Structure 1
Amino acid sequence: MKEEWLKVFDEKHQYLRNAIRSEVHQKGLWHETFQCWIVAEEDDVHYLYFQIRSNDKKDFPNMLDITAAGHLLENESIEDGVREIDEEIGVSVTFDELVYLGVIKNQIRMNDFIDNEHSHVYLLNKSIDWDDFRFRDKEVSGIMRANLDELKQFLFDQNVNTFKVDGFIVKDNKQEFISKIVDMSDLVPHNPIYFKILIHSIENAIREGLK
């Protein structure tokens, strides 16, 4: 399988060169990703949506992650990243529907895997029926949502160790609706600072009317 080529940057987001994806993650080279979080309001409560990574994924199977995200290839613009939303969760949107939250540094470090990202983060403010999610590429096995205020408390209050999610997972081609209590071990281990910046950015966008 032909390897993907990514643009490589320094920590200050200055372009350096191009490199293959395996080298980028082996050496912890900074690169760009596109991220889209879905937020929806219901009965005056805002919910943030997570994808459940497929059990077949090499990295972080069955864990809660960004609603839809992916690497930006060497020849792609930020706008091209919108394809990830349709590819991963089957929701078709235009780039103009997204609210830009900015570039957030995002780091995941493991023994043989160092993921240093300049993440272009967007918000999709849209209520989507559970039945409208589609997982065509089998990278995603379900969708869960969390009360934004409860998630914030979990991330910012050291005395709160869990939060509640509800949604569905696909088993044998059927939706199985579930509600459960999760903790940090259920989340893909993005840098905690990333999550805190994310929540603040989402709250600012909500206060500004998601424009």
Structure 2
Amino acid sequence: MQYRRETTDPQDEIFDVLTQDGELTGERAARWLVHQNGLWHPAFHLWIAWATPEGLRVLLQRRSLTKDTMPGRVDVSVGGHFKAGEFVPGQPLAPLMLAAIVREVNEELGFRLEPSVIQWLGTRWSEAVQANICDREVQYLYFWLRDEPLVAIEPDPREVAALLAVSVRGLLELLEQERMSVEAPVLWSSESGAGSTRSVQAVTFADLVPGRQRYWRVVLHLLEQNAAKGEVPTEPLVLHGKSEADAG
């Protein structure tokens, strides 16, 4: 039976189908079919962070309630799929790959990103099961360390419900369950736009996309170290995770 649900995500978007090792099979399939049949496909995460006098902050997004996966959850700065023909296995900084990331950042945040600022972190294999969806992604991980927070952002409300500036240290303590919540300034919300009247949101563990506790801890520690030393990691990450099994 063909999978459908009410969503603003284009279900007929075509993705490359991958092997479990992250190589191209030569096959392509529509988004709905990829998610229905649990086919491996390429995606990316971009982490955006900046230093403040109080410590490093990271941009997180609360996903729109109309997303087909993890609606309403708090997620990485920008996440997206590589469309068919854009994924180049083993070449994370290939022009086609960077152009796809620039496009997705513009679509989600309304912000023009220069490809030269994108740095590669590594690769993650992700398996997440919810309702009628089995989402298997080979995620290429990237980061962008800025000197200041983003300004002049105009996110697409079909993609993003809110943008939050979250303390990396506070988020790590939340992931370690050393605190119940972390307060995050709201940079933008779909209800109020930039400079929301609700200037702070309390983010709890239950708000986060599930199954990523270990992954997020590793990346956040790495961002902290990189920001402190001003060095780019030389060894790429290789991570595996299942949303129902990754408890830490």
| Alpha-carbon contact 1:6-1:31 (below 8 Å) kept | yes
Match of 1:3 in 2: 12
SS at match of 1:133: coil
| Alpha-carbon separation, structure 2, partners of 1:69 and 1:101 | 14
Give the C-alpha shift of residue 71 in structure 1.
0.7
Runs (4 or more) in structure 1 with deviation over 6 Å come to none
| Alpha-carbon separation, structure 1, partners of 2:225 and 2:20 | 25
| Alpha-carbon contact 1:101-1:201 (below 8 Å) kept | no
Please provide the CA RMSD for this pair: 2.4
Match of 1:142 in 2: 162
Name the amino acid aligned to 2:112.
Answer: S
Q: Mean alpha-carbon deviation: is it higher for 81-90 or for 162-171?
A: 162-171
Q: Percent identity?
A: 23
Match of 1:165 in 2: 184
Match of 1:39 in 2: 49
Matched residues, number: 209
| Alpha-carbon contact 1:34-1:78 (below 8 Å) kept | no
SS at match of 2:190: strand
| Alpha-carbon contact 2:11-2:32 (below 8 Å) kept | no
Name the amino acid aligned to 2:32.
Answer: S
Distance 1:74 1:170, change over 3 A: closer
- Corresponding residue to 1:22 among 32, 37, 42: 32
SS at match of 1:206: helix
- TM-score (normalizing by structure 2): 0.74
- TM-score (normalizing by structure 1): 0.85
- Corresponding residue to 1:50 among 50, 56, 60: 60
Name the amino acid aligned to 1:182.
Answer: V
Equivalent positions of 1:57-68 (< 5 A) are 57-68=67-78
Equivalent positions of 1:62-141 (< 5 A) are 62-76=72-86, 77-79=96-98, 80-126=100-146, 127-130=148-151, 132-136=152-156, 138-141=158-161
| Alpha-carbon separation, structure 2, partners of 1:173 and 1:166 | 13
Name the amino acid aligned to 1:10.
Answer: T
| Alpha-carbon contact 1:104-1:197 (below 8 Å) kept | no
| Alpha-carbon separation, structure 1, partners of 2:113 and 2:42 | 21
| Alpha-carbon separation, structure 2, partners of 1:65 and 1:2 | 21
Could you report, residue by residue, the CA deviation over 1:85-113 in whole angstroms, capped at 9, with x for unpaired residues? 11100111111111211112233221311
Match of 2:209 in 1: 188
- Structure 2: state its 5+ residue gaps: 1-9, 87-95, 233-248
Q: Mean alpha-carbon deviation: is it higher for 36-45 or for 165-174?
A: 165-174
Distance 1:9 1:89, change over 3 A: same
